[in-house]
Structure 1
Amino acid sequence: MSILSGKNILVGVTAGIAAYKTANLVRLFIKAGAHVKVVMTPASKDFITPLTLSTLSKNPVYSSFVNDDEEDAVWNNHVELGLWADLFVIAPATANTMAKMAHGICDNLLMATYLSAKCPVYFAPAMDLDMYKHESTLQSFKILNSFGNIMIPATSGELASGLVGEGRMAEPEDIVAYIEKNILDQLPLRGKKVLITAGPTYEAIDPVRFIGNHSSGKMGFEIAKVAANLGADVILISGPSHETIAHSLIKLLKVVSASQMYDAVHDHFDSVDIAILSAAVADYRPKNISATKIKKKETSFSIELEKTKDILASLGVIKKNQFLVGFALETNDELENAKGKLKAKNLNLIVLNSLNDKGAGFGGATNKVTFITDQQDVIENELKSKHEVAVDLMNQIIKQIHA
Structure 2
Amino acid sequence: MASLSNRKLLLIVTGGIAAYKTPELVRRLRDLGTEVRVVMTQGAKAFITPLTLQAVSGHPVHDDLLDPAAEAAMGHIELARWADLIVVAPASASSLARLAHGFADDLFSTLCLATDAPIALVPAMNRLMWSAPATQRNIELLRGDGKLIWGPAEGSQACGEVGAGRMLEPNQILERVQAFFNNTTSIHENGHSIQATGVLHGRSVVITAGPTREAIDPVRYLSNYSSGKMGFALAAAAVKAGASVTLVAGPCQLATPAHVTRVDVVSALDMQQAVSEHIAHCDIFIGCAAVADFRPVQVAQQKMKKQQDHDHMAIELVKNPDILAWVATQSPTPFTVGFAAETNEVAKYARDKLERKGIQLIVANDVSDATIGFNSDNNAVTVYWPEGEKAFATSTKESLAENLVTLIAEHYKNFKKQ
Instruction: Please tell me the TM-score bracket, short chain as reference.
Output: 0.5 to 0.7
User: One-letter code of the match for 2:299?
Assistant: I
- Paired position in structure 1 for 2:361: 349
| 1:256 corresponding residue in structure 2 | 266
Where in structure 2 are the equivalents of 1:175-324 lying within 5 Å?
180=182, 182-183=184-185, 186-248=197-259, 250-297=260-307, 298-324=310-336
1:180/1:244 CA distance change after superposition, 3 Å: closer
Q: Distance in 1 between matches of 2:183 and 2:262?
A: 23
Alignment of 1:67-106 (within 5 A): none
Q: Which amino acid aligns with 1:331?
A: T
Mapped partners of 1:212, 1:396: distance in 2: 31
Partner Cα distance (1:365, 1:333) in 2: 23
| AA of the residue aligned to 2:208 | T
**What is the DSSP-based 3-state SS (H/G/I as helix, E as strand, rest coil) of the residue aligned with 2:207?**
strand
Distance 1:179 1:355, change over 3 A: closer
C-alpha distance in structure 2 between counterparts of 1:273 and 1:177, whole Å = 18
Paired AA for residue 312 in structure 1:
L
User: Which amino acid in 1 is paired with 2:357?
Assistant: K
For residues 397 and 3 of structure 1, the distance between their equivalents in structure 2, rounded to whole angstroms, comes to 31
Deviations 1:69-101 (A, max 9, x none): xxxxxxxxxxxxxxxxxxxxxxxxxxxxxxxxx
Alignment counterpart, residue 346 of structure 2, candidates 334, 339, 358: 334
Q: Deviations over 1:242-283 (max 9, x none)?
A: 0111423x1000000000001111111111000000000000
Where 2:406 maps in the other structure, the secondary structure is helix
Which residue of structure 2 lines up, in the alignment, with residue 69 of structure 1?
A: none
Q: In 2, distance between residues paired with 1:322 and 1:294?
A: 42
User: What displacement does 1:180 show?
Assistant: 4.0
Aligned CA-pair RMSD: 2.4
**Rg larger for:** 1
Instruction: Report if aligned partners of 2:3, 2:32 keep a CA contact under 8 Å in 1.
Output: no
| Count of residues in correspondence between the two structures | 233
Corresponding residue of 2:45: none
Does structure 2 conserve the Cα–Cα contact (< 8 Å) formed by 1:287 and 1:305?
Answer: yes
Q: Report Cα offsets for 1:7-44 as digits up to 9, x if no partner.
A: xxxxxxxxxxxxxxxxxxxx979xxxxxxxxxxxxxxx
Query: What aligned pairs does 1:50-61 form with structure 2 within 5 A after superposition?
Result: none
Aligned residue for 2:279, secondary structure, equals helix
* Deviation of the 1:357 alpha carbon: 3.5
Q: Which runs of 5+ in 2 are unaligned?
A: 5-30, 34-177, 186-194
Contact 1:3 1:229 in 2 (8 A): no
Kindly provide the CA deviation profile for residues 202-260 of structure 1, in whole angstroms up to 9, marking residues without a partner as x: 00000000000111111100000010111111010000000111423x10000000000
1:302 to 1:186, Cα distance in 2 relative to 1, 3 A: same
- Identity, % of aligned pairs? 39
Equivalent position amino acid for 1:220 in 2: G
